[in-house]
Amino acid sequence: MSTALYQHFPIFAIMALFLGAFLIVLFGNIKPLRHAIALLAVTASLGFLIALVKPVMLNGEIIAYWMGARAPAGGYAIGIALEVDALSLFFGLLIATAVFVSCVYSIQYMRHDDNVSQYYTLFLMLAGGVMGLVLSGDLFNMFIMVEILTFAAVALTAFRNTVNGALEAAFKYLVVGCMGSTCILAGTIMLYAQAHTLNFAQLSAFIPGNMNTATVVAFALLYIGFSTKAFIVPFHPLAADAHGAAPASISVLISGVLTKSGIYGIIRLSYFLFQTMELGTMQFLLVFMGSVSMFVCVTMALAQHDFKRLLAFHSISQIGYVLTAVGLCTAMGISSGLYHAMNHTLFKGLLFLAAGAVLHETGTTDLGKLGGLSKKMPWTTALFLVGAFSISGIPPFNGFASKWMVYQSIYQKAVESGNIGFLFVTIIALVTSVLTLASFVKVSQSVFFGQLPKEYENVKEVPWGMRLAMGLFAVLCIVTGLFPNAVTTYLTQPAAAAVFNVANYINAMMGSGYAESVMGAAAPAAQAVTFVEVGVWQPVSWLLILIIALLAITIVAIAGQYDRVSEKAPAPAPVDGKYDLFFGGEQSVYSQVGGEDLFWGFKHNWRGYFSFMHELHSGIVNDYALWAVVALALTTLYMLIVF
């Protein structure tokens, strides 16, 4: 085993964060020292992971790090281990980047809060928990890290406990989050009872050839457990509640970090641990849940009147893109899904920081009360627009590049498989993108443009530290959009290739030839993964996507029609000639739409759907817990039928 210094960097990246949390407990009352410790911890963690890019991403090495040098003996794992391949490192880099920028933002954003030392302790515990999860090579220690990050996230959600709804949001998160953690623990116990090991690589060699009812149930438990961390439907209301109550710097972590831990767990679970993604039924499950999350959450965002809750629903809608692409089980799909996961961390982090800046200066995120802030906060406005253009898929920002690749990968899957259902998924993705753009037109008008309310005439731009953090995300949004080939070549393609080479992952941990000796003919063969991508600026492909987009818009328009004759005719409105020039004879009641609700007409046409969603989202924790139970029951039943 290599003794190169960088072999120790994974554990250093994790321990830097936990050590920082411990030191802040000791010295957190000294403000300059507290900030220095936090910044040093997050910078060190990011630096250690950047140092692994060359050996892991570029050279294809897989680092197996055994605690206490307790390497496997006689083909049996006897200790706790970390294992870092290109997939682990990719997610680790996303986490470390988001944590670093959020920490920079926090220094000035949190300076007026009480108990700031406790904030930084929990902040670093949350970061360390997620980092430990993606770098761990042991299933039980993944569960331990899930517990750490869950309780840290709950505490940070309730940190500003005087904010309306903060304690309620934290309680909901605690209940459903603990249900998810319990599912992960129960699934881990069931697998250990059969395989007598917790090592992830060893389990990956044992489980595929020993699938039975118990392992199928364990699969369902683990899948639901990680789904709660990704906040995909039906767990999406948790994200909205948590984002709405938590400080903006923590919303960055919930959106850009916690959701990725769930996606990472689902990838490891389905591609490595159970190796089920060759089955069309498993592909259907991930693509279906991703598509539902995309559409449901973007429509929920359109109905919001709170800046942060709107961003929260958009966050899960974008995670739907990632899950859909991952579920395709193609090299292009995995690469595009990972690319969008990275971009989601960047542009959604930027948008939440912009929302935090607005809250910091105005004291509200109510879209109905804001407006005209571009006159007072020009830097925040410009940086927000970068994030809005990115998430809406406007070229040349990064969201356009990754969404374009997601569209390509879904369409290619439809052509290769001959399954017209994937063409419908492409339409859903395009409709979601159109509605996302519409939503951010609404937000831009409501918050930054239009008339400035009198109570905000003395609003000022946020401090330079907060602008610096937003600027870092904005620069990354632009760079990763302008150079998509560099991103895919050096980051997403190596990570995607790692997904399709499970045997390498097993053998790196357990020793050369272990996968073949345990799995026999069923051992996954090493694959030379190729990526066939259509250039971002190919005119023929643009024309094809345009045709599908027009079809998508037509479907939305037709679906929104309703029988006007059956409605009770409204009382005639008084004739008011001043509206004739602008509204062509419409009754004035239909023209009185504020900036926070520019798409009243769309919601009116879809009022049946929105009324149903309103009733479904009761806000009662018992209902959300019931959703988790029903989701587990249905997933278990589905798994038992298809396996």
For the record, the structure tokens of 631 come out as 């989701």
Higher-scoring residue by pLDDT: 541, 299? 299
pLDDT digits (tens, 9 = 90+) for 625-637: 999 999 999 999 9
Check whether 579 has a pLDDT greater than 50.
no
Residue 532 to residue 534: CA distance in whole angstroms: 7
Model confidence over 145-164: pLDDT tens digits? Answer: 999 999 999 999 999 988 88
Q: pLDDT digits over 364-416, tens only?
A: 999 989 999 999 999 999 999 999 999 998 888 999 999 999 999 998 999 88
Flag whether pLDDT at 72 surpasses 70. Answer: no
Q: For residue 249, which of 90, 439, 465 has the smallest C-alpha distance?
A: 465
Report yes or no: 218 and 259 within 8 Å, Cβ to Cβ: no
Domain borders along the chain are 280-478
Does the pLDDT of residue 562 top 80, yes or no?
A: no
CA atoms of 93 and 392, how far apart (whole Å)? 24
Higher pLDDT, 434 or 106: 106
State mean pLDDT over 29-53: 96
pLDDT value at position 243? 82
DSSP string, 326-358: HTT-SHHHHHHHHHHHHHHHHHHHHHHHHHHHH
The mean of the pLDDT values for the chain is: 87
Q: Residue 242 — very low, low, confident or very high, per pLDDT cuts 50/70/90?
A: confident
Among 186-195, 570-579, 604-613, whose mean pLDDT is lowest?
A: 570-579
Percent of the chain with pLDDT over 90: 67
Please tell me whether the peptide bond between 395 and the residue prior to it is cis, using omega within 30 degrees of 0.
no
Exposure pattern of 492-531 as b/e (b: 16+ CB <10 Å)? bbbbbbbbbbbbbbbbbbbbeebbbebbeeebbeeeebeb
**In the numeric block, which tokens belong to residue 26?**
């000791």
Q: Is the pLDDT score of 24 beyond 80? A: yes
Residue 219 has pLDDT above 50, yes or no: yes
Q: In percent, how much of the chain has pLDDT > 70? A: 85
Judged against a pLDDT cut of 60, whether residue 463 lies above it is answered with yes
How far is the C-alpha of 43 from the C-alpha of 35, rounded, in Å? 12
* Tokens standing for residue 235: 């767990």
Q: CA-CA distance, 352 to 253, in Å (whole number)?
A: 10
Residue 311 in tokens = 């961003």
The C-alpha atoms of residue 585 and residue 581 are separated, in whole angstroms, by 8
> pLDDT category, 442, cuts 50, 70, 90?
confident
Query: What is the pLDDT, as a whole number, of residue 515?
Result: 85
Query: Given the DSSP bridges, would you call strands 81-84 and 63-66 parallel, antiparallel or unpaired?
Result: antiparallel
Please tell me which residue, 489 or 571, carries the higher pLDDT value. Answer: 489
Q: Give the model's pLDDT for residue 624.
A: 92
**584-602 residue pLDDT tens:** 444 444 444 455 556 666 6
The three-state secondary structure class of 340 is helix
* pLDDT at position 475: 97
